[in-house]
Chains A and B, each alone.
Chain A
């Protein structure tokens, strides 16, 4: 058992180091930027005030002194010391503190109904989770069912279709498919809403006399109606790749002797597939699926921007359009942390599923 402990500790340390690297990296690039920006502000303010001072002081020596005082004053106001390294370090420390307390300050404009950046990121992250988790669940179910079916009939039409879809989805940006779907299903056919962020307005418009269970159904229906197109896009683009992965791994296991043996023993096919084959191929499936998940994550958040789904992608989009660097920083922060923890969870899942890892770790 000590081995398992060591394995876990080493994974945890790895994740912890990665987290520190990510936080430091993000903080440093943002701190360097914001120091640069603040210097610009200082310079601007100084030039304006200096003109005023020049009129005030006739004596050049006094003027020089007063100007120096002024510069220091303005720099103090912005929290600068003049030493780049010290300034950046101070900024980094305050950023890390603010990220731990989830207090990212305020944005200039109002997004998602608030100017509190931490609050915006929370709302966005929740919606991204809802969309992406649902898509992942659907993909997993489709991938496993379809993958297993296809693996049993290699070379069939379905097999070829799925492998082509896997190839195509590898070379396509998900968000572009999103735009195309928007044109087809929202613009030409009018089946789906054009902007998913209207979901909040729609949720407020609860019909009269609906409450309790009816209210729940109404909310669920509204939510699904606005979510369906982004969801369908992510699933349609990525399920081919997932199915292909499952199919390959399952096909490999299917050709092994113990499957033959199980068949010879007269076990029902269903039990062979789901009990033996899938159990054996589940660890690599988890890894590959995790990789696919990681790969489609970036595309999926941009898809949100396309559909106006109020998640992190949309937050990025509006923040970038309006030059809100603070929001971009906070979103990146939170996404990085969530992402790294998700990878840890997948690692642990692999650990639970694969007996060999447990044995190896125990040795």
Chain B
């Protein structure tokens, strides 16, 4: 018997290989399964684990398109860069004046036509024996010019620059120094920045403080600093920038600055951009494959299996059993699935597995009608009748002699009912009644709809999940229709 199975499998594979559409479907399925299984390797699991963690995404740019979008829009975006802490040079020396000098030197690229959204330095800082001051705060531009935001030698209390920490001593981990918010601090601008700018010959007056606050960050990255400060437009100066900060402390003090990373929050991000909370949508897209496959395959396999057994039992017994079972199947079939599922999900907020179970409850009947019809025919066959005459038990007859006859149909319809299962789950998630602890494509689309992605033209947020659904659906339709052509030759056209 096993030899026979091996041979028929070999025959099956030889025939299947000839169906081009079926092979394409199989290749796609292999790719999808690989992505689903190997997500920790191809994707970044921590992004998914932290999807609901607002803190995790605070350094990501918000609602920016993917970088390759510049091919269509013609704009050159500034790439988002996460530099490791090691790229930041920290030098400590005790100067001739006997004071402690800490140099922080961070370089970063600006690659596009738009200035970055922010430049963020994340570091752990331990210091005591203050007070500490910042006496140099400057940006060195690609053309070699230097814009001193704080003129050299002035004494800015440490806390004013480093996000409100104590200027004397402290132990801060994960401190984020945001260039953009520092230069927007009104007091800081009034007290230190404007004098420094005036020293460098930019025509700004103290009354201009609000305008300087508004424009300074943009000016730092434009080819005409003075012009932008005065309110005019100018193109972005591309290239490698350097952000220099010098901290000065008393001779006997301790200051340790361990940079963790430097983030240039640009105007584009990664493969698929980000949503308005900074989620890396490419990771969400990759991860969605997993749940789409699970939901689709589990739902369709269970419902087709249950339906086929139900139908075979009804068809095999016939008579009153058939009548009752058929009536029941028809009643379930006539219930509108989506509205009832919406109500159930809205009231009880079920987990994804309960949703799958509910989908099964509403989608097994279609298969049962067909398998019932097949079973009605098969039970008349002589070999079934002789098996019964030889005293074979009912279960044996049903599962060993009748059920195998519906298997070809079962295999094809498992594949063919995957798309609708995925779409229904996605519809529930889209309406916001899916499992909130699971990241599915439907949920990404729900978030997009709630935050008006379509009205803002955030296509990179909306297009990929839908394409994903379509891709998984098409994969199974390809496979299913190939199986159908192969295993149900009666329907061959």
A interface residues, Cβ below 8 angstroms from B:
14-15, 17-18, 21-22, 25-26, 29-30, 33, 167-168, 170-173, 175-177, 179-180, 182-183, 186-188, 194, 294-295, 297-299, 301-302, 305-306, 316-317, 320-321, 325, 328-329, 331-332, 335-336, 339-340, 343
A332 cross-chain contacts in B, Cβ below 8 A = 339-340, 342-343
Bound Cα distance A55, B56 (Å): 48
Evaluate contact between A336 and B336: CB separation under 8 angstroms. Answer: yes
From B330, B348, B419, give the contact of A170 (CB < 8 A).
B419
A302 with B431: in contact, given A171-B469, A194-B455, A325-B347 (CB under 8 Å)?
Answer: yes
A331 with B427: in contact, given A170-B477, A173-B466 (CB under 8 Å)?
Answer: no
A305 cross-chain contacts in B, Cβ below 8 A = 431, 449
Bound Cα distance A194, B455 (Å): 7
A29 cross-chain contacts in B, Cβ below 8 A = 343-344, 347-348
Evaluate contact between A328 and B343: CB separation under 8 angstroms. Answer: yes
B430 CB-CB contact with A under 8 Å = yes
Residue from A171, A194, A321, A331 having most chain B Cβ neighbours under 10 A? A171
Evaluate contact between B433 and A302: CB separation under 8 angstroms. Answer: no
CB distance from B430 to the nearest CB of A (A): 6
Sample of 22 A–B contacts (CB below 8 Å)? A17-B327, A18-B330, A29-B347, A167-B481, A168-B470, A172-B466, A173-B423, A176-B462, A180-B462, A180-B463, A183-B462, A295-B420, A298-B337, A305-B431, A316-B342, A320-B342, A320-B431, A321-B450, A328-B342, A328-B346, A332-B343, A340-B336
Of residues 419 through 470 on chain B, the ones whose CB sits less than 8 Å from some CB of chain A are 419-420, 423-424, 426-427, 430-433, 445, 448-450, 453-457, 459, 462-463, 465-466, 469-470
Chain B residue with Cβ nearest A37: B347
Residue from B448, B454, B463, B473 having most chain A Cβ neighbours under 10 A? B454
A171 cross-chain contacts in B, Cβ below 8 A = 419, 423, 469-470, 472-474, 476-477
Residue from B336, B338, B470 having most chain A Cβ neighbours under 10 A? B336
B339 cross-chain contacts in A, Cβ below 8 A = 298, 301, 331-332, 335-336, 339
B331 CB-CB contact with A under 8 Å = yes
Evaluate contact between B336 and A183: CB separation under 8 angstroms. Answer: no
CB distance from A111 to the nearest CB of B (A): 15
14 additional contacts, CB 8 Å, given A182-B455, A298-B336? Answer: A21-B335, A25-B340, A29-B344, A29-B347, A29-B348, A30-B347, A172-B423, A176-B445, A176-B462, A186-B454, A302-B431, A325-B346, A332-B340, A336-B335
Number of chain B residues whose Cβ lies closer than 8 Å to a Cβ of chain A:
48
A177 cross-chain contacts in B, Cβ below 8 A = 466
From A170, A173, A336, give the contact of B340 (CB < 8 A).
A336
B334 CB-CB contact with A under 8 Å = yes
From A22, A170, A186, give the contact of B335 (CB < 8 A).
A22
Evaluate contact between A320 and B462: CB separation under 8 angstroms. Answer: no
A325 cross-chain contacts in B, Cβ below 8 A = 346-347
Chain A at the B interface: SS class: helix
A173 cross-chain contacts in B, Cβ below 8 A = 423, 426-427, 430, 466, 469
Evaluate contact between A167 and B348: CB separation under 8 angstroms. Answer: no
A298 with B424: in contact, given A179-B454, A320-B432 (CB under 8 Å)?
Answer: yes
Which 4 A-B pairs rank lowest in CB-CB distance, beginning with the nearest? Answer: A171-B473, A298-B338, A176-B466, A339-B336
B454 cross-chain contacts in A, Cβ below 8 A = 179, 182-183, 186-187, 306
CB distance from B465 to the nearest CB of A (A): 8
Bound Cα distance A251, B368 (Å): 27
A21 with B331: in contact, given A176-B445, A335-B336 (CB under 8 Å)?
Answer: yes
B450 cross-chain contacts in A, Cβ below 8 A = 321
Of residues 340 through 385 on chain B, the ones whose CB sits less than 8 Å from some CB of chain A are 340, 342-344, 346-348
Evaluate contact between B334 and A18: CB separation under 8 angstroms. Answer: yes
Chain A residue with Cβ nearest B471: A171
